[in-house]
Amino acid sequence: MEEPSKRELVLGIAGLGTVGAGVVKILTGHADLIAARAGMPVRIKAVSARDRSRDRGIDLAGYDWYDNPVDMASDPEINLIVELVGGSDGPALALAKAAIEKGKAFVTANKALIATHGKALATAAVGSGAALRFEAAVAGGIPIIKALGEGLAANEIKVVRGILNGTCNYILTRMEREGLAFADVLADAQRLGYAEADPTFDIDGIDTAHKTAILAALAFGKEPNIASLPTEGIRNIAPVDIEYAKELGYRIKLLGVVQRTDEGIETRVHPAMVPAGAALANVMNATNAVVVEGDFVGQTVYVGAGAGQGPTASAVVADIVDVARCGAGGFAFGIAPESLAPYVPVPVEKHRGTYYIRLRVNDRPGVMADITAALAKEQVSIESMLQRGRAADGGVYIVLTTHETVEAAISSTLNRFTKLECVLETPTMLRIEAF
């Protein structure tokens, strides 16, 4: 891209949804502030979106309009492209490739794009001298990309854990506070606009997985690899599990985890029991949070709004200012893209940890003997056990937590449980996250 010595940053913005409109509002409403912090004027020249007639609450009259966003990359006056279209392929990827190939800075909030094509785009950016920035792709307004890539650069990272999806955290918060079933809270969240009409991307953990793959690249120098990331969502969390979690001293949160282990770099997304005293346990509603442990800095905690117009647009504009100040300086993932090692996943069955298991069983003599025999055959030892009355739909609940073991043993134990005549439904298992 043209270096800051040219004294003006000229933007083309693709995508004028909630975040795109927010970026325009910040750049026009804070023009003098942004210019002072960037060291030069920052000017929008062109925009692109699917519908010209839609009222977005912003004045677009002074900007060139491109029906095809990729065409903006050929505008000789534009030296920075902002991509807010979304999606891992299609127009977003075409625009990224076109802009970077021409040496234009590229700023995006698109986690799917970066999680899928991040290494290739970073390699192309180094080759053409273009800046590539994606702070808004993970945790909205929380500056976690910059923290991992720059602020914690002196540290060997031990583990990164994050609540990275506000929709899921909102649902789990309301389930806990109001004792509601998952389906009821989801329906209400859709009515209130916290969840999409098709919530699959959020509640099945896919959104969190994209963000976790990016954090793995930054923290451990691993090529983003969304295809190899074990991912579970929150569909099967029941109010009874939330109540038992509370009794045992935990809260249930959907986590993205990247962790250095004896087996390698373990990357996973799943609901987990989080100790009630841990920082992440106390992050409620639609808020996001990330906890990073480094060998010299210790634990650092980042909390804030993970989505929404203001926070996400703020992160996009922060990247724009960074480009104005630094040009293409620095690597997108904190290290040279050719140094991003292929990610070889640690098999989930090798994960070591402690576990929560809930069973609904017949209330009859001999049940406990059957359960303990199944555990003994897999050499899984019990740390605690609860039995609380009769379940509403028959039988009784037995809840146990285990001492540390490997997940392969837990999987085998669960298979044994399902074959027991006394077990009335598929067992529920949650990992207990060690802090």
Q: Which residues are catalytic?
A: 211
Residue 182 DSSP label: H
Report the distance separating Cα 397 and Cα 394, nearest Å.
9
- Which amino acid is residue 322, in one-letter code? D
Q: Which of 157, 158, 100, 152 is nearest to 337 (CA)?
A: 100
Supply 102's token pair: 């021409």
Report the distance separating Cα 23 and Cα 228, nearest Å.
33
φ and ψ of 260, to 5 deg: -80, 125
Q: Which of 285, 257, 41, 261 is nearest to 171 (CA)?
A: 285
Neighbours of 338 (CB within 10 A): 10
Supply 308's token pair: 């929404």
Q: Are 389 and 408 in contact (CB under 8 A)?
A: no
3-state DSSP call for residue 246?
helix
Q: Kindly state the greatest CA–CA separation across the chain.
A: 82
Q: Are 232 and 305 in contact (CB under 8 A)?
A: no
Q: Which of 321, 274, 6 is nearest to 135 (CA)?
A: 321
Q: Which of 28, 111, 15 is nearest to 54 (CA)?
A: 15
Report the distance separating Cα 99 and Cα 81, nearest Å.
7
